[in-house]
């Protein structure tokens, strides 16, 4: 075969090559050991010198040309392949990135903050205390000695740990009231604090009882504090949280560390006190326990009850959140169901 013809054929054939497999076949056919070009190069030796030089140079030129064409074709085919894969997978590099999911505050946290904020504007300070507590703070110093029947009001989770002489056994606090004692122990009046935090009870859980929940304790001690201050403070709190029209109701209740003790209810904001599903047709929503700090408690921390008086209250933020949002099961708060949590 004429060298020129070999070249024409090889180049024409290369045009038809459309994938890397066919390209390899082309390489074997036109540049491989058995290709006409290699054969031509091998047969040069039998030619006269003059012709050998001429044809040899020409054959080598063609070889270089074909090798270069091979590399170019290979690069083109590879680029086409990449472009095709991207096209198939639908990668659009101009698309904006995926938005990361943003977390949010838990409905309880939101409610705790809203409630504390109201009391902060009324001049209260926010403090926090330990969730694992001594018997002394949770019961004893709050007028609940061992064997006092009032202990049955709190189903207690005791900690299996050695007792501390003057403080007794350890437990998960059943309310935030122990912080009344801790705060008064380390400060002199005037005292105005609110204490948000988790509490624990050994409960058979149901729609209105959880074994872990929050409380917000309030305590104000000063010279001349009366029940009127308690009423004024709670009323103002209720109106700031539930709206300016709200009325409050006090009814006698018993807590060993207050005297008198009361249960506080707000007139239902859903029906304005007429009676509806939310308030169980009573027109009232019970939101907290409260009362005047018991003189025995003041004495316990070295405050003279003839000079100082005070009021205290304890409210459940989940309960307030349930009333506000119409949530009918307290267990929803801590069951980590995003369908619930995302609504707040």
Binding positions for ligand PHE, 287-306, rule CB under 6 A: 289-291
When asked if residue 62 is in the footprint of ligand PHE (CB under 6 A), the reply is no
User: Scanning residues 254 to 293, which ones bind ligand PHE (CB under 6 A)?
Assistant: 255, 258, 261, 289-291
Task: Please give the residues from 220 up to 259 whose contact with ligand PHE meets the rule CB under 6 A.
Answer: 255, 258
Q: Closer CB to ligand PHE, residue 35 or residue 180?
A: 180
Q: Which residues pair with 82 in a beta bridge?
A: none
Which residue is catalytic, options 195, 221, 258, 265? 258
| Nearest in space to 291 (alpha carbons), one of 308, 307, 276, 313 | 313
- Residue 178 is a binding residue for ligand PHE (CB under 6 A): no
* Residues near 160 by beta carbon (within 8 Å), at least 6 away in sequence: none
- Determine if 171 is a binding residue for ligand PHE (CB under 6 A): no
From the list 197, 256, 314, 317, which residue makes contact with ligand PHE (rule: CB under 6 A)? 314
Task: For residue 175, indicate whether it is catalytic.
Answer: yes
Contacts of 32 (CB under 8 A, 6+ apart): 38
Q: Beta-carbon neighbour count of residue 112 at 10 Å?
A: 23
Question: For residue 280, what are the contacts with CB-CB under 8 A and spacing of at least 6?
Answer: none
139 lies in the binding site for ligand PHE (CB under 6 A): no
CB 289 within 8 A of CB 313: yes
Residue with smaller CB distance to ligand PHE, 214 or 269? 214
**Which one from 201, 246, 294, 319 is the annotated catalytic residue?**
201
Q: Is 310 an interacting residue with respect to ligand PHE (CB under 6 A)?
A: no
Residue 38 sits at φ, ψ, to 5 deg, of: -65, -40
The question of whether 25 is a catalytic residue gets the answer no
In whole angstroms, how close is the CB of 273 to ligand PHE at the nearest point? 24
Instruction: Read off the tokens for 232.
Output: 């004024």
Alpha carbon distance 66, 255 (integer Å): 100
Contact call for residue 177 and ligand PHE (CB under 6 A): yes
Round to whole Å and give the CA distance between 33 and 117.
89
Binding flag, residue 189, ligand PHE (CB under 6 A): no
The catalytically annotated residue of 215, 220, 238, 284 is 215
Dist. CA 297–CA 143, nearest whole Å: 6
258 is catalytic: yes
Other beta carbons less than 10 A from residue 233's beta carbon: 21
User: Which residue in the block uniquely carries the two structure tokens 């001690």?
Assistant: 221
- Judged by CB under 6 A, the stretch of 143-151, 161-169, 299-307, 308-316 that binds ligand PHE is 308-316
294 is catalytic: no
Among 73-81, 125-133, 312-320, 331-339, the segment contacting ligand PHE (CB under 6 A) = 312-320
Q: Judged by CB under 6 A, does residue 182 bind ligand PHE?
A: no
Q: Quick check: bond before 152 cis, omega within 30?
A: no
Q: In sequence order, which residues have a C-beta less than 8 Å from that of residue 165 and are 6 or more positions away? A: none
Which position's Cβ is nearest ligand PHE?
Answer: 314
- Which are the catalytic amino acids? 154, 175, 201, 215, 258, 312
**Residue numbers of the site for ligand PHE (CB under 6 A)?**
175, 177, 255, 258, 261, 289-291, 312-314
């Amino acid at each position: 075969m004429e060298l020129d013809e070999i070249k024409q054929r090889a180049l024409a054939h290369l045009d038809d090559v459309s994938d890397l497999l066919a390209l390899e076949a082309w390489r074997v056919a036109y540049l491989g050991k058995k290709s006409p070009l290699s054969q031509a190069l091998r047969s040069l030796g039998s030619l006269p010198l003059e012709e050998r030089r001429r044809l040899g140079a020409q054959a080598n030129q063609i070889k270089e040309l074909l090798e270069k064409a091979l590399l170019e074709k290979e690069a083109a085919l590879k680029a086409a392949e990449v472009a095709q894969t991207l096209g198939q997978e639908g990668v659009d590099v101009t698309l904006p990135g995926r938005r990361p999911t943003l977390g949010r505050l838990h409905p309880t946290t939101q409610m705790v903050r809203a409630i504390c904020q109201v009391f902060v504007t009324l001049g209260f300070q926010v403090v926090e205390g330990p969730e694992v507590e001594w018997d002394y703070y949770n019961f004893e110093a709050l007028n609940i000695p061992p064997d006092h029947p009032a202990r049955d009001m709190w189903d207690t989770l005791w900690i299996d740990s050695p007792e501390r002489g003057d403080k007794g056994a350890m437990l998960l606090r059943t309310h935030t009231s122990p912080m009344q004692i801790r705060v008064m122990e380390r400060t002199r009046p005037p005292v105005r604090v609110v204490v948000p935090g988790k509490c624990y009870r050994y409960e058979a859980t149901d729609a209105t009882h959880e074994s872990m929940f929050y409380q917000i304790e309030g305590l104000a001690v000063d010279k001349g504090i009366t029940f009127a201050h308690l009423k004024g403070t709670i009323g103002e709190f209720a109106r700031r949280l539930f709206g300016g029209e709200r009325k409050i109701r006090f009814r006698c209740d018993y807590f060993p560390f207050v005297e008198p003790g009361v249960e506080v209810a707000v007139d239902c904001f859903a029906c304005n006190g007429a009676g509806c599903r939310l308030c169980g047709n009573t027109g009232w929503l019970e939101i907290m326990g409260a009362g005047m700090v018991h003189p025995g408690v003041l004495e316990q921390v070295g405050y003279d009850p003839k000079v100082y008086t005070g009021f205290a209250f304890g409210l459940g933020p989940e309960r307030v959140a349930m009333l506000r949002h119409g949530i009918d099961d307290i267990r929803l708060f801590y069951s980590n169901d995003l369908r619930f949590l995302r609504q707040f």
